[in-house]
Structure 1
Amino acid sequence: MKQIAANKSFEGTQYVFSHWSSTCHCNMTFAIFMPPQSESGKVPVLWYLSGLTCTHQNVMDKGDYRQSAAELGLAIVCPDTSPRGDEVADESDNWQFGKGAGFYLDATEPRYATHYNMQSYILSELPALLESSGLALDFSRQGIFGHSMGGHGAITLALKNSDRFQSVSAFAPITQPSTADWSRPAFEKYLGSDPATWRAYDSTFLIEDGFRVQEMLVDQGTADSFIDNGLRPHLLKEACERAGISLTLNMREGYDHSYFFISTFMANHLRWHAERLSREPAFQVSRAAP
């Protein structure tokens, strides 16, 4: 890892690193906040996945997570949202696809399969890199959360890896991306024309197919302009009710899709994760028994 920046904040350190990714075949950049508790022992790891058009920088600059993370003793890892570089296939006039829009999946279509492997990057390459970095991280205690496209990513990765992630939450997640206006076209370009292959990256269909977490927390603004066509939180609520998953869905009156909304409720999410990451794991089955 090449250190790009290190800034003291709330007695912890906000780092930015870059590295060559053998998974995405390009240089990748990520941020990680190490709380002051990491100076005396390993701390839980909380992954934050950002939304469309974002990099690691957006939440680092606007998310207001450091004070609470320092108080709670949480390391916050903020990966990028897609591969980067001149050699990476892209549609520069389409903010819902390509660079900044990796959707946390592993592409199978030939034009994109070389670089767009964000699921494998988040689950395998970046954790291995961090484990070998010498940073005081306790990978036996991991949670994951995110915003919008990143909320979609957080929920799908948690559903498929409940033995790894002890907690999952989201701000305004895309709950059924395989049918949403702003994600269905991306799924077809990355994964091909067969909708059956998209189910592995769709929260509601993963739940329908038997994947489980014990509980999740979702905050959604009622003034979010994407709520009806893109996000549709009622679909996640219905899927969780059918599956017996405990969902806390907070509809926040008057809030929109921006980081004004995220930063307002960031501390609530960090406290929610910290409480669950302090417990012994009690739920480790990613898929329900037949």
Structure 2
Amino acid sequence: MELVQRNQCFNGEQRIYQFDSESLKSSTRFGIFLPAEALQGQVCPALFYLAGLTCTEETFAIKAHAQRLAAQLGLILISPDTSPRGDSVAKGDHWDIGQGAGFYINATEQPWAEHYQMERFISDELYALVQAEFAVLADAIGIFGHSMGGHGALTLALKHPDKFKSVSAFAPICAPSQCPWGEKAFGQYLGVNQGFWQAHDATALVAVKGALFKEILIDQGLDDQFYSQLNPALFQQACDSVGQALTLREHAGYDHGYYFIQTFMDDHLQFHAVQLQA
């Protein structure tokens, strides 16, 4: 593992590392914010943040404005890239498929299957790596994300409740099996059998898995230009049907971008801090 960049930030450090991933069969990068306590060797709760389409491991660190409060709360923040990358990695025909658009699933179809193993990369490989290399409190790890990454956060949490103790999302793709983004990605990555898609759809998963978390938090802008792709009401209905507590907050005037995320970032960090202490 190679340290690529290190910057002091709110008495902690924002870093970027690069390493050769066994899951992705390519070199990959991830960002990590280490509060002062973690730099001193004190174990801290940690949050994985999964970014949206076209983003990289650095987008969250630059745009989300999360480090100030994370430093106060003593939270480690981990931000992986959104897909495998490199000349040998398959590229898509548009920004919503291929590099920058891994959808946090394990692809089964060609030409994607060799490298696009994002679920395994995050929930197994990177999850183990950060615990081995940094002062992460093992039983206090949460996950959150935005858009495609919100889909990833919800589905990975629902599939791995033994690993992720808390979950929240900004404008997540709640029912990818029922929107153009998800239909395109799942069709290419997983094949035409839509029965296989349900294992990667948060709305379908919560209906099967039941109530796994004390609470799930979602924030959604009502001026979101991609609102028709996101389907938060379907996820709300699925949660209600199984008794999964969901706080779905919809906000007039906010769109899909990082100004929206910045506005409610403190709420999410505080939400996770409480959940991870429980």
Given residue 41 of structure 1, which amino acid in structure 2 is its aligned partner? Q
2:14 equivalent in structure 1 = 14
| Cα distance between partner residues in 2 of 1:255 and 1:188 | 31
Instruction: Tell me how far apart the structure 1 counterparts of residues 41 and 55 of structure 2 sit (CA, whole Å).
Output: 33
Q: Quick one: which amino acid aligns to residue 164 of structure 2? A: F
Q: CA deviation at 1:211?
A: 4.5
Q: Which amino acid aligns with 1:21?
A: S
Q: Report the more deviating stretch, 205-214 or 78-87.
A: 205-214
| Residue pair 2:210, 2:244 contacting (<8 A) in 1 also | no
In structure 1, the residue matched to 2:102 is 102
d(CA) in 1 for partners of 2:138, 2:196: 30
Structure 1 equivalent of residue 45 of structure 2: 44
Q: Which amino acid aligns with 2:209?
A: G
Secondary structure at the residue paired with 2:195?
helix
Corresponding residue SS for 1:206:
helix
Residue number in structure 2 paired with 1:71: 72
Aligned counterpart, 1:285: none
Q: Which runs of 4+ in 1 moved over 3 A?
A: none
* Equivalent position amino acid for 1:32 in 2: I
Whether the 8 Å contact between 1:29 and 1:80 is mirrored in structure 2 is: yes
Q: Deviations over 1:123-168 (max 9, x none)?
A: 11112222232x2111211100000000000000111111221110
The separation in 2 between residues aligned to 1:196 and 1:211, in whole angstroms, is 19
Unaligned runs of 5+ in 1: 280-290
CA distance in 2, matches of 1:103, 1:20: 20
Which amino acid in 2 is paired with 1:205?
A: A
Which whole-Å deviations, capped at 9, do the CAs of 1:188-247 have from their partners, x for residues lacking one?
Answer: 10001100101110001111223442220000000001112x101111111111110100
CA RMSD of aligned residues (A): 1.0
The number of equivalent residue pairs is 276
SS state of the match for residue 132, structure 1? helix
Shift of 1:101: 0.5
Distance in 1 between residues matched to 2:3 and 2:239, nearest whole Å:
41
- Distance (whole Å) between structure 2 residues aligned to residue 113 and residue 212 of structure 1: 32
Query: Which amino acid in the other structure matches residue 114 of structure 2?
Result: T
Amino acid at match of 1:194: N
**TM-score, normalised on structure 2?**
0.97
Q: Please give the TM-score of this superposition, normalised by the length of structure 1.
A: 0.93
Kept in 2, the 8 Å contact 1:162–1:212? The answer is no
Paired residues of 2:207 and 2:239 also in contact (CA < 8 A): no
Alignment partner, residue 115 of structure 2: 115
2:28 is matched with 28
Deviations 1:77-113 (A, max 9, x none): 000000000111112x411100010000000013111
Q: What is the letter of the counterpart of residue 42 of structure 1?
A: V
- Distance in 2, matches of 1:250 and 1:131, equals 32
Correspondence for 1:262: 261
Q: Which amino acid is the alignment partner of residue 257 of structure 1?
A: H
The one-letter amino acid paired with 2:10 is F
CA distance, structure 2, for counterparts of residue 226 and residue 35 of structure 1: 34
Match of 1:173 in 2: 172
CA contact (8 A) 1:160 1:211 kept: no
The percent of aligned pairs where both chains have the same amino acid is 46
Secondary structure at the counterpart of residue 110 of structure 1: coil
* Kept after mapping to 2: 8 A contact 1:207/1:239: yes
